[in-house]
Chain A
């Protein structure tokens, strides 16, 4: 397809996206269905179709804006954009790649601090026990974000209903899980 002028991929981030996800940003013809269906586009700095357009330009400055955008973090991966895209462009897969790259290059948007903190706290929780420990997750998240007062009323209500485990569930092969983490996330530590 690379010989087809309508599907040429610009050098730079667009081609990096293609190499890693097989998503061709050049296929997007800006119909806007992704942005119309995206439940969070109104909270984004650039809606999904604009992200596609910015990547199509191959312009370095645009690419930097994409990587440091809030959009890529507020994206829920609900997959609605992919479901409705007439060109079957896997935007969610591309978003996963952009998030990982933004984090690795320390370019993630400051507004996304809480979202990133939550994901990190979540992974840290399973790194040591193998399973999610919800109280540990909340405590770690609060430490990272200093949002001490948020959801404080929720915990006792959950406890009362038997929805929180006081102690974590520890799996047997914790060293196996630790080794998986060592081999995968070592390169983008906090």
Chain B
């Protein structure tokens, strides 16, 4: 089976381990990921903070390309890209004048027929039904499922899981033998796009997240967003200086945890790329 694939910029650079683990898991379950040809950046936080038209035009170009290439369903593992693409499809679908304006800017027609899956939706649809039978090494750890912002908010548009206490990732972790913990920071913001410009603020926000997970006995954080991963993993020094102690709980992408459980080589899951050593 073949699915459309929008990796986005982070998955080609600072978060390439996410892409590597997504592709490794997909391959293990017989799924071919067909990258959208000549895709561009979704514009991320920068575009919608500075220019609304640009923040719609960039994702619309990606969706138009995917449609032109005959894709009907695309997987967008990065939660931030998933949000931008889904919000754009929503905004353009409900406002024909805006859609015409953006199509004119892009010089590209966008129909809005394409379906956009985040990584959990993709796994639930194509992998979960056979997942338990493929587990060879249960991921027997207490995990803090960290959903962050972009997977669940705004609910009116994304329509995915609950905003305050989502469950989909927790249920998925149960299936690979993990024990998801109840905790308070599931959907609190990590500091996202302020990582470079206000690192200290990010240390505080991410510090609260890591601190709560640690206090409740988590052995690993499970994430779906490259920004959440960078802030919790790469910014661990800032986190630790906020917490005033050295916390070494590793941060795994959901696909890395699944990969370990179904017996994919650690190297293929690119765990060696993390800043906080993954010893579990």
Q: What is the interface of chain A, defined by CB distance below 8 A to chain B?
A: 39-40, 43, 74, 76-80, 82-83, 88, 90, 92, 96-97, 99-100, 103, 114-120, 122-123, 126, 130-132, 134, 138, 141, 150-151, 154, 157-158, 161-165, 169, 171-173, 176-177, 179-181, 183-185, 188
Q: Does B201 contact A (CB under 8 A)?
A: yes
Known contacts A83-B155, A97-B52, A100-B52; decide if A126 and B43 are in contact (CB<8 Å).
Answer: yes
Q: Are B49 and A119 in contact (CB under 8 A)?
A: yes
Q: Are B50 and A188 in contact (CB under 8 A)?
A: yes
Known contacts A40-B201, A77-B45, A180-B58; decide if A165 and B12 are in contact (CB<8 Å).
Answer: yes
Q: Does B15 contact A (CB under 8 A)?
A: yes
Q: What is the interface of chain B, defined by CB distance below 8 A to chain A?
A: 9-10, 12-16, 38-41, 43-55, 57-58, 61, 105-108, 149, 153-156, 163-164, 187-189, 191-194, 196-199, 201, 205, 234, 272-275
Q: Are B40 and A177 in contact (CB under 8 A)?
A: yes
Known contacts A43-B201, A123-B46; decide if A141 and B196 are in contact (CB<8 Å).
Answer: yes
Q: Are B193 and A118 in contact (CB under 8 A)?
A: yes
Q: How far is the CA of A114 from the CA of B40 in the complex (A)?
A: 25
Q: Are B189 and A80 in contact (CB under 8 A)?
A: yes
Q: Are A122 and B44 in contact (CB under 8 A)?
A: yes
Q: Are B15 and A163 in contact (CB under 8 A)?
A: yes
Chain A residues positioned under 8 Å from B187 (CB to CB): 80
Q: Are B272 and A161 in contact (CB under 8 A)?
A: yes
Which 4 A-B residue pairs are closest in the complex by CB-CB distance? A78-B189, A132-B9, A79-B153, A122-B46
Contact among A76, A117, A151, A181 with B54 in the assembled complex (CB-CB below 8 Å): A181
Contact among B12, B45, B61 with A180 in the assembled complex (CB-CB below 8 Å): B61
Closest Cβ of chain A to B216, distance in Å, is 19
Chain B residues positioned under 8 Å from A83 (CB to CB): 153-155, 163-164
Q: Are B13 and A79 in contact (CB under 8 A)?
A: no
Known contacts A126-B43, A134-B14, A180-B105; decide if A161 and B198 are in contact (CB<8 Å).
Answer: no
